Structure formats: C-alpha cells, structure tokens
Amino acid sequence: MNSHQDIRDAVAKLCTRFPNNYWRALDSKRGYPDAFIKVLNDEGYLSVLIPEEYGGAGLGLEAAGVVLEEIARSGGNPAAFHAQMYTMGTLLKHGSARQKQYYLPKIAAGELRLQAFGVTEPAAGTDTLSIRTSAKRQGDKYLVNGQKVWISRAEHSDLLLLLARTSPQEAVQRKTDGLSVFLVDIRQAVGHGLTIRPIQTMMNHHTTELFFDNLEIAADCLVGEEGKGFRYILDGMNAERILIAYECIGDCKFFIDRATEYARERVVFGRSIGQNQGIQFPLARAYAQMRAAELMTNRAASLFDAGEACAEQANIAKLLASEVAWMAADTCIQTYGGCGMAKEYDIERKFRETRLYQVAPISTNLILSYIGEHVLHLPRSF
C-alpha cells in the first residue's frame, strides 16, 4: 500500500465533486476556485502541515504532497492554493509565538489565507540576492518601498510572506545577509501603500505585480531575526521543490490515464490507435520516467520529513518530475490528435498549466546549476 493511501483515497473522492468542467469554467473566466478551497479546508486537507495544537493535522510534507498530487491527477489545478503549504515551514520554524498563536488557528480554520509569497522582482528574477524592495525600520514600524513581480494569488490571499531588504547590499558582510521576511496583512495594506496589478498569463494563475509606496507595517510583522530572511526562504525552497514535483507527478498521471483510455477507445483504420506502437511507446516511456521521478520525489519528501539534508533529492525530483510532466502532456496531446486541442477535453488546459513548472518556482537551468556546483563540485558559474 502506498504511503498515505487513506489521504490519497479521500482527496481523490473529494475531487470527484469538482469535475473537470469546474476547472475548465474557472480557466475560461480566470476565476478562483473558492468553492473547492472551502471544501478542501473544511475537510482538513489544506492544513495538513499545521501542528495539531493550532488546529491542523500535524502531518509532514509527504502527506501535503499526496494531497496536491491527487488534485492535479484529477484534472484540478493546485497552483491556486499550494503556496500555503510552501510558506508554512517559514512560519512554523521562524515565526514568533505570537505570530503562530494568532495566525495558525485562523489559517487552519480557513478564516485567513496565506497564499502569497513575495520574492521575485523585475530586476531580480532568479538572482534573489539582488532584490531591492526595502523595509526600513522607523520606531515600532517598517516602511516598505519597491516592486515585486509574478506574485501569485495576492488578490485572493489575506497574508503575504514578503522578502525585503533591511540592509543595503554594500553594508552586509555576507551577501546572504541583509534580507528579512515579513508577514504582511494584504487586506490592511491595499490602498495604504500597496497596489496590486494582475498579470494575464497563458494559464489561470492569478499572478500579479505588487507596488509598495511607503507601506507602513508593524515591527512585529518581522518573521524571525532581521537580516536572516534569505536563509529562511532557502529553507522553504526544498519544500517548495518537493511539492511541485508531487504536482507534476499528479499531472503526469492525469495525462497518462487520459491518453491510455483514449488510445484504447479511439478506432482508426479499424483498430484502436493504442494498438500502434507509435502511440504505445511514448506513453510507456512517459510512464517509466514518471515512476522514476515519483521514487525520487518520495525519497526527497521522506528525507525532508526526517529532518535530513535533501537539497540534492529535492532538486532532482523537481527536475525529473517537471520534465516528464511536460513530456506526458505533449504525448497526451499527440495521442488525442485534434481532440487534444479542444477545450472540452481539458488536455490543452493541463498542457498549459504544467508547462510553468520548468520556469517557476525555479527554472530547470538553475536546478542543473545546483547539481553541477553542489553535487558534482564543478566550478561555480555565477
């Protein structure tokens, strides 16, 4: 039996209440899955990582991954709410007792959404250490100025975990110092120094630009120690990569399930197209590679949950899973022929959704660069 089979089964059952036409309709009107999130939350699956004392299930990353995988497998789009799982580690590990007491029970109960994570800037994409958005301490407040880009779900989240510069780059000894993490109440900030501007993308992703113009936030919004935020964010990045790998595995299973079903049923030249090895082999290859990616993803999650080093496994899992998801998507479209292009089959929607994961939250080149430098000990390139 697979690990967390009970969670898998329960989430798969829950997803049958939100069939593909639910997600398709949201995609066409760029809607947000409020109804799905409410049910996911009410049944406790969005708060799996929150400790029991704060109203969550107190489970590990593997359980969270299984939830996301099953939603992706059903044809849903976990990108609409996955940030709550990525960002949770930062709050759990580095948040103050007050922050945890105040926010976690409300997040677990679904009263507050922590769905926005603000790192990327127009002049600092992959190069996070070059971010310029600043938070200057003034008495019992910080004054935030700057700009972020690609900050997803800001319009649908109550809280934003923000990375900002609290000391100029020139003033710090180690280049990883001087950045700090803040928990910002978006509802209070909008109109008082925070402006959110949506960005239209090829898939329904609710991503935005954020403009900070003298936004005042209370000093106790600081998470952990001032100047140490980059390390906290790095900590969370392994979790993020592992969870994305689970989503990609779910996408693969969606594409392979759908393509094999179609290939068995669709008859051309008097026989099912699945009888042709030209159709079979790409599906068999996608399946084999998916199983390998799945093993690495489970390995990464179990190391993470055991508190052991897992950067190599997390990076490899994300690399393999995002690449095979894209290959499975392409194979599925090819298997469906013309129908792969029609919206009513949901293949083209999932094809668009899964493409993201070779770009964000970290691009494939940067993962290869991590493996080259930190695993193979090749010379540093940047």
Ligand X SMILES: Cc1cc2nc3c(=O)[nH]c(=O)nc-3n(C[C@H](O)[C@H](O)[C@H](O)COP(=O)(O)OP(=O)(O)OC[C@H]3O[C@@H](n4cnc5c(N)ncnc54)[C@H](O)[C@@H]3O)c2cc1C
Site map 190..229 versus ligand X, x via CB under 6 A: -----------x---x-x----------------------
Record the tokens describing residue 241, joined without a space.
């990569």
Q: Which of 65, 76, 274, 361 binds ligand X (CB under 6 A)?
A: 361
- How many residues line the site for ligand X (CB under 6 A)? 23
Q: Per CB under 6 A, does 347 bind ligand X? A: no
Question: Is residue 263 within 8 Å of 274, Cβ to Cβ?
Answer: yes
Q: Which two tokens stand for residue 372?
A: 């080259």
Compute the chain's Rg from CA coordinates: 21
Residues 157-196, mask of contacts with ligand X (x by CB under 6 A): ----------------------------------------
- Of 62 and 121, which CB lies nearer to ligand X in the complex structure? 121
3-state secondary structure at position 135: strand
Query: Which span (5-13, 92-100, 120-128, 253-261) binds ligand X, by CB under 6 A?
Result: 120-128
Buried b (16+ CB within 10 A) or exposed e, 306-328: eeeebbbbbbbbbbbbbbbbbbb
Site string for ligand X, 126-145 (x = CB under 6 A): x-------------------
| Contact track, ligand X, 42-81, x by CB under 6 A | ----------------------------------------
Beta-bridge partners for 185: 159
Shortest distance, CB of residue 206 to ligand X, whole angstroms? Answer: 9
Minimum distance between the CB of residue 140 and ligand X, rounded to whole angstroms? Answer: 27
DSSP summary character for residue 357: G
Can you tell me which of 63, 119, 215, 259 binds ligand X, judged by CB under 6 A?
119
Which positions ≥6 away from 203 have C-beta within 8 Å?
A: 27, 77, 79, 349, 352, 353, 355, 356
Report yes or no: 75 and 20 within 8 Å, Cβ to Cβ. yes
Closer CB to ligand X, residue 209 or residue 257? 209
Q: Are the CB atoms for 82 and 69 separated by under 8 Å?
A: no
DSSP state of 228: B
Give the binding site for ligand X (CB under 6 A).
117-120, 125-126, 150-152, 201, 205, 207, 356, 359-363, 365-366, 369, 381-382
